[in-house]
Structure 1
Amino acid sequence: MAKSLRSKWKRKMRVEKRKKNAPKELSRLKSILQMDSDVLMKDVQGIATMVVPKHCQEQTQCVTEIKRNRKSLIDQHGQHPIRTNQRQRKRLKAK
């Protein structure tokens, strides 16, 4: 994207929107997980990266890292990163 004033403003507003919606998204995720009694928060931490909003960081620490193979970029579940397209995946698989 170019560095025009419009794109800078849109980028700034997207960041503000993420900050505003982060607590709601986290509470929605927790409520969904509480409905399903089989899923524990410890299990979810291994699968997804959860970032807690700044005002909640004193209460809990939920930030986890995904371990990836440096050569093939595949994580422990056999998934490629979202940013790779089909052509890149095929090229990495061929190596």
Structure 2
Amino acid sequence: MAKSLRSKWRRKCRAIKRQRYGEKELARLKKTLGIDETAPVDTDMKEIADIATVTDAKTIKEKAAAKEKEKGTDGESMEVEGARVYNKRTMRDQYGNYPVWMSHRKIMKHKHARTKGKNVPTTQTKKKPKKLRKKVKKQTPQQ
């Protein structure tokens, strides 16, 4: 089905578009990076250090901790009255409610998974043994 004349033509047109848009995208990228427009197309990129600064997570955390010490809060967040605190394991807040974004189906699935590991009372899970009875033949009334 992909070898029809129409699909071949479309594939050819898409290849032409790809080439044309690629040139435009390259020009836009060079403009954003600040590379000279008049320079030849095959110029090498400048050093990455000139364009962007690279930092690791450790230095970012250290800077954030230094800013917190300057403020004097020492990483304590402001407590808002009436804020809900959710337990990560049970997904419920301090009042026993699930989050508003959680769908009913997801809540029921979560409840089922939580009770699965617990010991449920034996009256609900144990089957009662059947009583053995003698078969009694039906007797017809005698006249």
How would you bin the TM-score normalised by the shorter chain? 0.3 to 0.5
Question: What TM-score, normalized to structure 1?
Answer: 0.34
Structure ID, larger Rg? 2
